[in-house]
Amino acid sequence: MKKINECRMTVDAKSVNEGFCRAVCAAFAAQAEPTVEEIGDIKTAVSEAVTNCIVHAYREMGGKIYITASLLADQRLRITVRDRGCGIADVKQAMEPLFTTVGDDRSGLGFSVMETFSDKLTVRSKVGKGTTVIIEKKLRGRARD
Amino acid sequence: MQVQTVVDGKALHVYLAGEIDHDSAPRIREKIDDKVTECRPCVLRLDFSDVSFMDSSGVGLVMGRYRHAHALGCATEVTHLTPRYEKIMKMSGLSKIVKFS
Ligand SMILES: Nc1ncnc2c1ncn2[C@@H]1O[C@H](COP(=O)(O)OP(=O)(O)OP(=O)(O)O)[C@@H](O)[C@H]1O
Ligand SMILES: [Mg+2]
């Protein structure tokens, strides 16, 4: 599917940037005139992916997060969140609801939330290399209902 | 993120305002736990009326506060969740131990 528009950014893996990352993705999506509901879905999913890079991939010790937001010709938004962190040994297990490797105030719901609020979620990971999470969502918008 | 606490008899009301994420959660956690330890209420009521954003960090926050309060003999309630927040909370099975209203 042809890309209509694309935005790329690299941000430091600091928790203070979580709000910034989800706001940028929501602002990029605005050109497709999404509903308020759809904007909420995007913000929530992006927040989960970015938080995982900070908490898990880089273990709160910093690194870079690479985000690409693309709008495709069929009004589909594709957001890619990539890190060069520790990677995930067993992606299938990591994506199971309530699975977490960090006990302290983490619920193990991040991937489930990303799945719930998007149309398609793809996770690729290699131990020692990093993880790529691709969130896809068709923006139906109000006008096109 | 703002956290306002009001003691009302045996209940501790906590009014949360702003965004709940992994960045803000530690500060919220500290304020609530300190107040619960200090006041020893029977009920901890977390009011989400003015929460403008919440991801799974909010679930971890409520779960952790439930554990802390429960250890001190205090029940936890959550009020004014939007349908979105409720959907996220319910994915965790939290509604079995925390009262939603
Ligand atoms: N980018 C990542 N790099 C390395 N490991 C990851 C990454 N993302 C997720 N994981 C692993 O997958 C597990 C599940 O992630 P998920 O987001 O579902 O839950 P969580 O982050 O543990 O808790 P929550 O998101 O509810 O706060 C994590 O505990 C972690 O072990
Ligand atoms: Mg997570």
Kindly state whether residue A143 falls inside one of the protein's structural domains: no
What mean pLDDT value characterizes chain A?
A: 96
Establish whether A48 is a catalytic residue: yes
Q: Are B66 and B98 in contact (CB under 8 A)?
A: yes
Catalytic position from the list A18, A48, A78, A82: A48
Strands B11-20 and B43-54: parallel
Nearest-angstrom CA–CA distance, B16 and B52: 10
For residue A77, the domain's CATH number is 3.30.565.10
* From A55, A100, A124, mutation site for ligand 1 pocket: most ligand atoms within 8 A of C-beta: A100
Nearest-angstrom CA–CA distance, A135 and B57: 19
Is the distance from the beta carbon of residue A28 to the nearest atom of ligand 1 less than 6 Å? no
Domains of chain B: 2-100 (3.30.750.24)
pTM exceeding 0.95: yes
Q: Are B66 and B76 in contact (CB under 8 A)?
A: yes
Kindly state whether residue A144 falls inside one of the protein's structural domains: no
One DSSP character per residue, B16-79 reads: EEEEESTTTHHHHHHHHHHHHHHH--SEEEEEEEEEEEE-HHHHHHHHHHHHHHHHTT-EEEEE
Q: Are A32 and A75 in contact (CB under 8 A)?
A: yes
Task: Please indicate whether, in this complex, the C-beta atoms of A107 and B59 are within 8 angstroms of each other.
Answer: yes
Percent of chain A scoring above 70 in pLDDT: 98
Q: pLDDT for A83-92, tens place per residue? A: 999 999 999 9
**Count of structural domains, chain A:** 1
Report chain A residues whose CB lies below 8 A from the CB of B98: none
Is the distance from the beta carbon of residue A110 to the nearest atom of ligand 1 less than 6 Å? yes
Establish whether A115 is a catalytic residue: no
pLDDT for A138 beyond 80: yes
Closest to A80 (Cα-Cα) out of A4, A124, A132, A22: A132
Q: pLDDT for A53-79, tens place per residue? A: 999 999 999 999 999 999 999 999 999
Parent domain of A12:
3-138
pLDDT for A135 beyond 70: yes
Q: Residue A105 has what pLDDT? A: 86
User: Can you say how many angstroms the Cα of residue A87 is from the centroid of all Cα atoms in its chain?
Assistant: 15
Q: Are A75 and A92 in contact (CB under 8 A)?
A: no
Treating both helix axes as pointing N-terminal to C-terminal, what angle do B83-90 and A36-52 enclose, rounded to 10 degrees?
A: 40
Strands A3-12 and A64-72: antiparallel
- Tell me the two tokens of residue A124: 């690729």
Kindly state whether residue A124 falls inside one of the protein's structural domains: yes
pLDDT bin (cut points 50, 70, 90) of residue A143 is low
Average pLDDT on A110-136 reads 98
Kindly state whether residue A35 falls inside one of the protein's structural domains: yes
Q: Given B53, B61, B63, which is nearest A43 (Cβ)? A: B53
Distance from Cα B74 to the centre of ligand 1, integer Å: 30
Q: Which residue has the tokens 């079995």?
A: B96
Kindly state whether residue A145 falls inside one of the protein's structural domains: no
